[in-house]
Chain A
Amino acid sequence: MTLNISEIRKDFPIFQRETRPGVPLVYLDSTATSQKPLAVIDAMDQFYRRSNANIHRGVHTLAEEATAMYEQARVKIAKFINAPSAHQIIYTRNTTESINLVAYSWGRANLKAGDLVILTEMEHHSNLVPWQILQAERGIELDFIPVTEDGLLDLDAYRSLLLRSPKLVSFAHMSNVLGTINPAAEIIRLAHEAGAVTLVDAAQSVPHLKVDVQALDADFLAFSAHKMCGPTGIGALYGKMDLLEKMPPFLGGGDMIKEVHLRSFRPNTLPYKFEAGTPAIAEAVGFGAAVEYLSSLGMDAIAAHEHEITEYALERLEEVPGVKVLGPSAQKKGGVAAFTLDGVHPHDVAQILDKEGIAVRAGHHCAQPLHEKFGLPATSRASFYLYNTKDEVDLLVNGIYKVKEFFG
């Protein structure tokens, strides 16, 4: 099935605005956060207009409605990634908090001095710093799967690292800079053969690809709603039941307990054990609406559309003298094109593109070690989602020519 992009664009109210009067909005920053369809905005609006109440324990009508909506969303999210049970979906604030949850709870219960955690050189800071904190606190060891010149993980080096019996392998399914789609199933299979637990940072993959946690055999998988047409402030952690059950609570407070005495508590069952305090209820409802929206279009169709755009974008960008796109060929990457332009700082590129109404990001995109590896202080990054068109790629390329003219 091919997507009708002009119809899809009508689902997103933000595309009715212009960046400035007379300058249409060309949004090429979905890797940072996606735009939101009316279905999501309406679901949250309706929740606040009709059903708002705190969840669980309340017996009044609104509390029951709110609880049902909050839990139905969890079921939809579980189905979206093919989790065996909705109890294995823990609501968090975002991918970062999901990874921190694993580091704080599973990590502190299972990792001791000298234990090895394998990460990769292409990680987002959110999958580096939590482990660095644990390293400082516990004396665990960190090592990294190297990234090759063309932006792929060096799997031979990974196999050698596995000989050192790591306890955990934690990696990005898709790089937010290179766009590389890593062979997650293989990485996980090899980790399991070496006796390691796996954590997949799926912040960039779940929004763009069909992700099946059972097919991957992932132990933990983390993602955010806001990068997949949902609201900010909510994300999820999927975990295997036996691992989640053995883990101690993360944050303490209301809702995560079965009973509390002055000097002791008994933790609640899954997933509530990890959901202390009043959660982001309307956001959960919006998250549910987002996965419903994406499912109605079909993740395979979305991925096919993005692939087509990305292939076109790489082709067009590479024909611009002085432009260099990071990462592998379109076959091996998602809709991300981080690039440099000779002689012009990425900030200046982004600023002049903004003048043309084109939103790209400039900086190290929370992947400073990766930029250091390639000897770049920063890059400009255009990223594509289901609502982007080839015309927008053309506008981007024209914009880059204008940047060159300006600084030429």
Chain B
Amino acid sequence: MDDLYREVIIEHYKNPGYRGHLEPHDIQFQDSNPLCGDQIEITLRTDESGKVTDARFDGHGCAISQASADLLIESIIGKPLDEVKQLNKEYILDMLGIDLGPVRLKCALLSLKVLKAGVYGLGEASDSLVE
């Protein structure tokens, strides 16, 4: 249980490095978790080769949702979009370094869901994006 709030999570929650909103941006998407009201917006800039040159997240929610958003954004800058499209649940859990029950898993995966919906240019973020 103490593991759930590992230092890395608390640190990224309290002092996120990538909180903000990019203007202008090439990709923007936002969604919320209806169960707890967690909300995440992601904005990205990309270059001609389809590489992420900068990214930010904004929103509010629990430590798990906000920390995983910060970690995710930090990790995708410099990555090609094609690679971002392949990111999955395990990628997030590896970064967080914890195991999560079904309820908190939704918190952890919200940012990835939002990111992938934006990168794929979907109208709606679906859970199947992160399974």
Contacts and interface: CB of A to CB of B under 8 A. Distances in A.
Given A346-B36, A363-B36, A377 B60 contact: yes
Chain B contact patch, size range? 10 to 19
A347 B1 contact: no
Interface stretch (B23-31, B61-69, B81-89, B112-120): B61-69
Nearest to B59: A377
Contacts of B61: 345, 347, 377
Given A348-B62, A348-B63, A351-B104, A406 B36 contact: no
Interface in A365-408: 368, 371, 377-378, 406-407
Chain A contact patch, size range? 10 to 19
B37 interface: yes
Contact of B37 (A351, A352, A364, A406): A364
Contacts of B37: 363-364, 368, 371, 377-378
Main secondary structure of the interface of A (DSSP, over half): helix
A345 B35 contact: no
A345 B1 contact: no
A345 B62 contact: yes
Nearest to B107: A347
Interface string B11-35: 0001000000000000000000001
B5 interface: yes
A317 B1 CA distance: 25
Interface string B59-101: 0111110000000000000000000000000000000000000
A407 B11 CA distance: 10
| Nearest 8 A/B pairs, CB to CB | A377-B37, A347-B62, A345-B62, A378-B37, A355-B1, A348-B63, A348-B62, A363-B36
20 contacts: A345-B36, A345-B62, A347-B61, A347-B62, A347-B104, A348-B62, A348-B64, A351-B4, A351-B62, A351-B104, A355-B1, A355-B2, A362-B36, A363-B36, A368-B37, A371-B37, A377-B36, A377-B39, A377-B60, A406-B5
